[in-house]
Amino acid sequence: MTETDKKSKDSSPTKFDYDAIVIGTGPGGEGAAMGLVKRGLNVAVIERHSAVGGGCTHWGTIPSKALRQSVSQLIDFNSNPLFSDSGRDKHFTFPQILKHAEGVIRQQTRLRAGFYDRNRVNLLKGEAAFLNKHTIQITQDDGSTQDITAKTIVIATGSRPYRPKDVDFAHTRVYDSDTILSLKHDPRSIIIYGAGVIGSEYASIFRGLGVKVDLINTRERLLSFLDNEVSDAISYHLRNSGTVIRNSEEYDTITSSEDGVILRTKSGKRFKADCLLFANGRTGNTDTLNLKSIGLKSDSRGQVKVDQHYQTEIDNVYAVGDVIGYPSLASAAYDQGRLAANYIVDGQVESKLIEDIPTGIYTIPEISSVGKTEQELTAARIPYEVGKAQFKHLARAQIANSKIGGLKILFHPDTKEILGIHCFGTAASEIVHIGQAIMQQKGEANTVDYFVNTTFNYPTMAEAYRVAALNGLNRLF
């Protein structure tokens, strides 16, 4: 490093414009900004897009879940015997159901913009880049620039879909998980490359609209990080709905034409569809931050390393959310921002992100889990017992005609400590939090006995916990 470079990296003003600058307004940036300003700091937030909310609100979590909700309701309507007298199913196109998602995005944007306004956080629009460890240059759309300084800077720039160079994303028939929201035509068939959370969710959405779906999975199992029983269940239901799943496949070439896309795999298979959704991986948004000016490096996936307090190798620069990698969840990102803010203000905090972070996957049917899987417990040689409840036996599920799926509790046979909760079916991502709340308790409060000794409303889906607990305890001897 030359003396000029060193001076640029280390130089800092004697007086700062702000106590802290947060780059990005997604969940991580919002958590950090709100945590800092409520502790009395003067905070500026930089957002390069026209509205706040980040990728979570505009292209990721919110729109995809809103789409999924609309499609799920459509499926329920078409399968409900109360409405079967019409003689034919209702059909909506992808652009039609997007209108609901757009309405939710507008509501979320207004709500979150109000947070910054109400708390007097200075919201600045433009592209942010480091000049040195205390100075950020903001470039507006018209090319004009503004330099601002702060004692502390938090990177919360999120991530974007991974785009390999040999795939023509400029073609009108080739999409990623961001650009799929601009789909204008009504495809009869789609190839989804990548069967992770995003790919599996969109497979459910398109299949629910009656679109022929080829789901190309680069791994041996669908959503292999899940408990095997749950992975098998979602594989079965996707296939049962008509989705064709191809495991252990990788693309060789992707060829686009005016009327569709042809994908050839390395194994020699060929698939043709009206369009392609490439949903295989994400990249951290760090390439435009000029990190080299402060001596900070990102890895091959655009992510930066942080310690347990979300502090990077540069003492006054922190990073939270997708840009630091695992767990890459909106819920966790907000908590990371809040925890980073506490450390910035207090210098030392004991609070940290919880160890067992719940996973919610909004396929049709829905999936949610927290804690260990059966495979993980077996590999660690931890004894466990299983308690199960099938939703088809619950009165509430029968009333709602939501009889697919069930709940599984894993617990230690000696201490009865709850080790894992796995739920598949309607409202799974809500139901799992009951089990999570008990898992977070200490000592004897965290046992499967709680679900037997408490009284649940009847009829409810939550009653599955009592059924599963009794089922598991009956296995003990």
What end-to-end distance do the CA atoms of the chain give, in Å?
A: 68
DSSP code of residue 52: S
Q: Is 60 annotated as a binding residue?
A: no
Does 54 belong to an annotated binding site? yes
Amino acid found at 255: T
Whether 199 has a binding-site annotation, put simply, is yes
Position 8 scores a pLDDT of: 42
The reply to whether 402 sits in an annotated binding site is: no
Question: What secondary structure, in 3-state letters, does 231-299 show?
Answer: HHHHHHHHHHCCCEEECCCCEEEEEEECCEEEEEECCCCEEEECEEEECCCEEECCCCCCHHHHCCCCC
Q: State the residue for tokens 């009794």.
A: 470
On average, the pLDDT of the chain sits at: 93
Q: Is 197 annotated in some ligand binding site?
A: yes
Contact partners, residue 2, CB within 8 Å, separation at least 6: none
Nearest to 451, CA basis, from 423, 429, 473, 430: 473
* 122 membership: H or E segment, kind and range: strand 122-125
Q: What CA–CA distance (Å, rounded) separates 155 from 11?
A: 20
Is 347 labelled as part of a ligand binding site?
no
- Alpha-carbon distance of 7 to 132, in angstroms, equals 9
pLDDT digits (tens, 9 = 90+) for 407-435: 999 999 999 999 999 999 999 999 999 99
Six-digit token string for 260: 């569709």
Residue 439 contacts residue 446 (beta carbons within 8 Å):
yes
Does residue 297 have a pLDDT over 90?
Answer: yes
What is the model's pLDDT at position 14? 67
Q: Is 200 annotated as a binding residue?
A: yes
Which helix or strand (DSSP H or E) is residue 79 part of?
helix 61-79
- Whether the per-residue pLDDT at 228 is higher than 80: the answer is yes
CA–CA gap between residue 255 and residue 167 (Å, rounded): 8
Domains in the chain with CATH codes: 3-61+97-161+283-346 (3.50.50.60), 174-280 (3.50.50.60), 365-473 (3.30.390.30)
What is the rounded CA–CA span in Å between residue 456 and residue 465? 9
Write out the two tokens for 360.
């919610």
158 labelled as ligand-binding?
A: yes
pLDDT of 77 higher than 80: yes
- Collapsing DSSP states into helix, strand and coil, what is residue 357? coil
One-letter amino acid of 427? A
Tell me what percent of the residues of the chain surpass a pLDDT of 90. 85
Please indicate if the annotation marks 51 as binding a ligand: yes
The confidence score (pLDDT) of residue 78 equals: 84
Region 87-102: mean pLDDT is: 82
Q: Show the tokens assigned to 420.
A: 């894992």
pLDDT at 10 over 90: no
Predicted local distance difference test score (pLDDT) of residue 4: 41
Res 11: pLDDT:
54
CA atoms within 13 A on the CB side of 371: 25
Instruction: For residue 243, say whether it is annotated as part of any ligand binding site.
Output: no
Residue with tokens 């037997």: 452
Distance CA 360, CA 330 (A): 11
Asked whether residue 157 is marked as a ligand-binding residue, the answer is yes
Does the annotation list 196 as a binding residue?
yes
Among 95-104, 215-224, 267-276, 382-391, the least confident range: 95-104
Question: Distance between CA atoms of 49 and 101, rounded to whole angstroms?
Answer: 18
pLDDT(86) > 80:
no
Residues sharing a CB contact under 8 Å with residue 213, sequence separation 6 or more, in sequence order:
189, 190, 192, 203, 206, 207, 242, 243, 244
Q: Quote the tokens at residue 220.
A: 């041996």
CB 338 within 8 A of CB 30: no
Is 170 annotated for ligand binding?
no
Annotated ligand binding at 194? The verdict is: yes
Nearest partner of 158 among 340, 296, 334, 280, judged by Cα: 334
Instruction: Based on DSSP, count helices (H) and strands (E) in the chain, helices before strands.
Output: 13, 22
pLDDT in tens, 18-58: 999 999 999 999 999 999 999 999 999 999 999 999 999 99
pLDDT range class, residue 85, cuts 50, 70, 90: low
Unique residue bearing structure tokens 């495991």: 247
Q: Please list, in sequence order, all residues whose beta carbon lies within 8 angstroms of the beta carbon of residue 74, skipping any fewer than 6 positions away.
A: 90, 92, 97, 208, 209
CA 146 to mean position of chain CA atoms: 33
Hey, what's the torsion of the CAs at 355, 358, 359, 360, to 10 degrees?
A: -160
Average pLDDT over residues 71-94: 79
Report the alpha-carbon distance of residue 381 to residue 278 in Å, rounded. Answer: 38
Judge whether 337 is annotated as a binding position. Answer: no
Q: What is the rounded average pLDDT of the residues 319-339?
A: 95
Helix (H) or strand (E) holding 113: helix 94-118
What is the C-alpha separation between 155 and 198, in angstroms, rounded? 24
Is 37 assigned to a binding site?
Answer: no
Q: Which residue, among 133, 268, 80, 271, has the nearest Cα to 192 in the 3D structure?
A: 271
Between CA 249 and CA 255, with CA 254 as vertex, the angle to 5 degrees is 150
Which of 232, 199, 201 is closest to 375 using CA atoms? 232
Residue 297: count other Cβ atoms within 10 Å of its Cβ: 11
Q: How many other β-carbons are positioned within 10 Å of the β-carbon of residue 237?
A: 18
Asked if residue 275 belongs to a known ligand binding site, the reply is no
